[in-house]
Amino acid sequence: MASCLLSAPLLFCVTRSKPQLIVPSASTPHQQKPLSDLDDQGTVRLHIPVLMFYRNSVERRGEDPAMAIKEGLAKALVFYYPLAGRIFEGENGKLIVNCNGKGVLFVEAKANVKLEQIGDKSMQPPCPYLKQLLNTVPGSKGIIDCPLLLIQVTRFTCGGFALGIRFNHTMMDAQGFIQFVNAVSELAKGVSAPSTFPIWERGLLTARSTPTITYEHNQFKDFDLSKTTRWWDFEKLLRITKFINVQKLASDPCVFFSKNICHSLLIKRSFTFGSRELQAIKDQCPASTTFEALCACLWKCRTIALRPDPNSTVLLTIIVNIREKLQDSKLPLGYYGNAIVLAAAVTKAKLLCSNPISYAAKLIREAKNIVNDDYVKSITDLMVTSGRPRGAVLRNFLITDNSRFGYDDVDFGWGKPIFGGVYGVGYGVGFLVSHKRMEDTKGKLVALALPPLIMGKFQYELRKMTRAQK
């Protein structure tokens, strides 16, 4: 099985072996485990693609990285045995793992080029070779009754390799995923047990017996649907593509848009922010963290480029890791489930676009700081009382920071990756990943998807915003 991508002057072809199921290397419990009410929220019912690129190692000359990773994976699944199972849906949409040991999908592949021929730019999101390096196995993309992991190891002619992993987000968040991958790497290098033992305990994040919604969770609301929008707003954008299907749109606008629009109308581009650019942004809102300032900058530039109705409500949604936020019911070390909640900064488009980014940064900081034990309980209760809603789509921009979890530190014995991170790029979502250079180790990278004309305007606004202040 082979696939090719012509990206002049590089003809990149990959030949894959038949997918195989990797099962735990020892017997594991067969049982059913309910997910938490944060695991099975609508927003995380999707698969996340991750890529890591590794150079050839002189010390491991002649050794097969696919074999080492496969062996480490089988051993890790003994400790993380629910990942070898399958999910089914119980009463009221509750997701439950059937721990049956069926295994995870594993694919070995060979490329016809050297790793350096791809180039550093193509290794970072949005990687043009994602389909070559992480092929979709037919029938594997569903949430229900599908493998929870798909792994592909692609060897290059130079001895380097790429590791592609697609994981079911309902099983774990970014921190939990890295914890699992680190366990695979440790076991691949010969240790008998992972340094961090996995903890299930999903009942800690389950709705109360008497659900009580105590916060205004704006991140799940689509505001101003009746307002007249400009042609590039969501509704008009759908109509001009000739892909419109009103029934499907009404049932799930997020899925409809990602499936029918992104590949035909949007362009994907990455933006890097070194220390100089980050400082230029931070100088405009000194009371904020770098994350708050960068999110404020991206939110404002994107909104100006999209030109929504000035009186329409716009949102910036961030994903908050609650592991360090909880006081009453702290999560144990090793918890690898979804310990994340959405929090939204909300304002009018005209206020966002006309004010300095310190205005937006303040809103983001307030949204982030509101997350506490009561907020988590409220959003958990909301999941079970409101049909496990997805996050808002219209005039919403969701940013998640994956730069601090160590995607580019995972070592299977061939050294650390040249580059590693999440590679999912879609409309309305921005993944922040680390972008280290020899002279600058604190950089950030974000990949976005926008219509071509809007992307040009966004870039123009971003250049103005990141120019060092005189």
pLDDT at residue 387, rounded to an integer:
87
Which CATH architecture best describes the domain 218-466? 2-Layer Sandwich (3.30)
SS3 261: coil
Chain centre distance of CA 11: 29
Show me where the domains of the chain are located.
2-205, 218-466
pLDDT along the chain (470 residues), means of 10: 50 90 97 96 92 91 92 98 97 94 97 91 89 91 96 96 97 97 97 97 94 90 49 42 40 40 72 92 94 97 93 94 89 96 96 97 97 95 90 87 90 94 87 73 87 93 78
Q: Count CA within 13 A, CB hemisphere, residue 434.
A: 17
The count of residues in the chain is: 470
| Given 252, 409, 411, 440, the catalytic residue | 411
| Given 39, 40, 47, 169, the catalytic residue | 169
- Distance, CA of 296 to CA of 277 (rounded, Å): 14
**126, 82 Cβ separation under 8 angstroms:** no
Strand bridging mode 429-435 / 20-22: unpaired
Between the alpha carbon of residue 56 and those of residues 60, 156, 161, 402, 422, the distances in Å are 8, 9, 7, 26, 22
User: Could you tell me which residues are beta bridge partners of residue 15?
Assistant: 2, 110
pLDDT at residue 66, rounded to an integer:
97
The answer to whether residue 411 is catalytic is yes
The answer to whether residue 381 is catalytic is no
Class of domain 2-205: alpha beta
pLDDT at residue 5, rounded to an integer:
52
Same fold, 2-205 and 218-466: yes
- Residue type for position 26: A
